[in-house]
Structure 1
Amino acid sequence: RSMKLKEKTEWLWQKYHFTPRKDLGQHFLIDPLILDRIVKSLHLKMHDEVLEIGAGTGTLTERLAQEKIRLLAVEVDQDLYQILKEELKDYPNVKIICEDISQFSLEEQFKGPFKVVGNLPYQIASSLLLDLVKRENVGLLVVMVQREVAERLLSPPGCKKRGILTVLMQHYALIEKIIDAPSHAFIPPPRVASSLLRIERRKIHSSEEDQVIFRVVKAAFSSRRRMLINALSGALKKDKNFLRKKLEEAGIDEELRAEDLVDEDFLKLSRVLREEVYEKKD
């Protein structure tokens, strides 16, 4: 039990004849301090329900299993799934599923509120986070993402890295960086560094308002280098004079670019353009 995480991970690889797969971007956390920060940041209470994405060799899974929670660990790799099933068989509060998280039906597994934790694969991190944060029963996410994704999610108004993902994620949630994780915190070490984020969902949402905001944000960012009025006019197929009035009404300078707007600006813009972009369901 006192074996270091790196040794333990390598020992499991040997025991089960496992080789990390490049195509799945498999990198395993071996830094005990970061592991502690992850567990602490989840603020676990008895009977919490937790979803772990990409359980790997079960380093975090086992730590979480020792808390009095219900844990659902999802792992796409069949070989790792076998390791997890064997190594964690003594924990009745842990359920392990071999599946691709982006194809996975969370509705069937979680009826009430749940928390999310995991080291997110780069290819699907953005779309997965947006999907999760839109769900009313997800309260808190503590996730490891590539530094580049973290920078996009945290980028302030005026920053070139700010985009649709940034604005929508910041609309749904409060995002903060807990800690940066250097490459050597993992084996095999990835080429890029990662960051651990805490994402707490805001409580207030109506799906109708969300639909409007989504379309307005998309339209505003549709041509990044153009002024707001031109981007909106092109994407929403609306007359500039009409949009000029609407922007004035919202108190927003038409010559700004989408990345310059704060969340509140997008809310104001969505209110004045609501009639134009909301598609009513018959």
Structure 2
Amino acid sequence: MQKQFKHKKQFGQNFLQDKAILNRIIAVSDISKEDSVLEIGPGEGALTELLLENAKKVTCIEVDRDLEKILLEKYSENSSFRLIMKDVLQLDFKEEINEKVKVVANIPYYITSPIIQKLIVNREFVEDIYIMIQKEVAERITAKSSKKRSVLTLSVEYFGEAELLFYIPKEAFFPSPKVDSAFIKISIDKKNKYEKLVNEKTFFKYVKASFANKRKNIVNNLCSLGFEKNSLKVLLEKNDISPNKRAEAFSIDEFIELIQILERTSNE
């Protein structure tokens, strides 16, 4: 670690220092010399070094100009290394990436959801996503049926499959954050399974309404879309869906089925 570098809270800079964990990231990410890798927020390049050893090409996206010199001094002579100084949320994938990449990164936790959404929107350029995020958020994204499920959970499930790979203690970082972390994998569904059943706009209209108030059941939340409460209750019971069920208790497949039922009723 270069002690002269001053970590900045506004960029969520907590750099992973534990070599065993860095090596584990490389192992579970299944990187080969055929892969072009996109690393978001490389910091001082601890993970970048290992990525360059194992991948065909590594493109790093960094927003902090103070890190530019450090990264270029270390890797500018490596022909497999490319550095783009830009906020990843402003990145034009078609213009600046324009190839299939595997994302492997320790992303800034304060913009976890926007980054995941950015990668999903640009899924034509993204293969698998391997990212380190806050433990609590990781458990929410990968939750299958629990109170931890949220709109973010369903957002990921609609486009792919999330898996929690392993946990990382806060002591493995410098400076040490206040929370533990987790490394997850998001596999993009290349067959567009759910998109073929319910279009994206319709899916998120119902999901967002269903989670509008997590203390309310599905019937009370869906009434915000114009459904009459008693009629909706009868409809759900007729289709063996409990009207007292809350949104977090629905699996992605159950949500798809629910939406299809409601859409058919609305169009009758």
What TM-score, normalized to structure 1?
0.86
- Is the Cα contact below 8 Å between 1:216 and 1:277 reproduced in 2? no
Matched residue, 1:232: 222
CA distance in 1: counterparts of 2:143 and 2:174, whole angstroms: 29
Work out whether 1:76 is the aligned partner of 2:63: yes
**Offset of residue 111 of structure 1:** 2.6
Question: What amino acid sits opposite 2:257 in the alignment?
Answer: K
Is 2:181 the counterpart of 1:194? Answer: yes
Distance 1:254 1:204, change over 3 A: farther
Q: CA deviation at 1:100?
A: 0.9
2:202 corresponds to 1:215: no
Deviation at 1:241, TM superposition (A): 4.5
Unpaired runs of 5+ residues, structure 2, are none
Number of corresponding residues: 263
1:254 positional shift? 1.3
Partner of 1:272: 261
Match for residue 32 of structure 1 among 19, 23, 42: 19
Gaps of 5+ in 1: 1-8
Cα pair 2:59 2:84 within 8 Å, conserved:
yes
One-letter identity of the residue aligned with 2:22? L
Greater shift, 40-49 or 252-261, is seen at: 40-49
Deviations 1:10-62 (A, max 9, x none): xxx24xx3211122221111111111111122222333221100010011111
Deviation at 1:277, TM superposition (A): 8.6
The 1:249–1:76 alpha-carbon spacing in structure 2 relative to 1, beyond 3 Å, is farther
Superposed displacement of residue 242, structure 1: 4.4
What percent identity do the matched residue pairs reach? 34
Q: CA deviation at 1:173?
A: 2.2
Q: Which residue pairs with 1:145 in the alignment? A: 133
Structure 1 residue 94 and structure 2 residue 84: aligned? no
Query: Counterpart of 1:183 in structure 2: which amino acid?
Result: K
1:257–1:68 CA distance, 2 compared to 1 (3 A): closer
Instruction: Tell me the amino acid that sits aligned with residue 223 of structure 1.
Output: N
Which whole-Å CA distance do the structure 1 matches of 2:47 and 2:167 have between them? 17
Query: 1:274, 1:98 → 2: CA distance?
Result: 45
What SS is found at the alignment partner of 2:261? Answer: helix
SS of 2:162's partner is: strand
Question: Contact between 2:36 and 2:55, CA under 8 Å: does it hold in 1?
Answer: no
Amino acid at match of 1:195: A
Partner of 1:180: 167
Structure 1 partner of 2:37: 50
